[in-house]
Amino acid sequence: MKDELDAFSTNEAEILEYYGLQGSFGKIRLRLKFLRMWILHSLAYLSPDSGFAIKMQRSRGVKIGKNCHLSPYVLIDLLYPQLVKIENNVTIGSNTLIFAHSNPTANLFLKKQYPRKIDPVNIKSGAVLFPGCIITAGVTIGENSMIGAGSVVSEDVPDYCVAVGNPARVVKKIDH
Tens of pLDDT, residues 107-142: 778 877 888 889 999 999 999 999 999 999 999 999
The residue-averaged pLDDT of 36-61 equals 97
The residue-averaged pLDDT of 18-39 equals 94
- Please choose, from the candidates 93, 71, 70, 76, the residue with its C-alpha nearest in 3D space to the C-alpha of residue 146: 93
pTM value is 0.91
Rounded distance between C-alpha atoms, residue 176 and residue 154, angstroms: 25
- CB distance 133 to 97 below 8 Å: yes
Query: pLDDT per residue over 6-22, tens digit each?
Result: 778 888 888 999 999 99
Which CATH architecture group holds 7-173? 3 Solenoid (2.160)
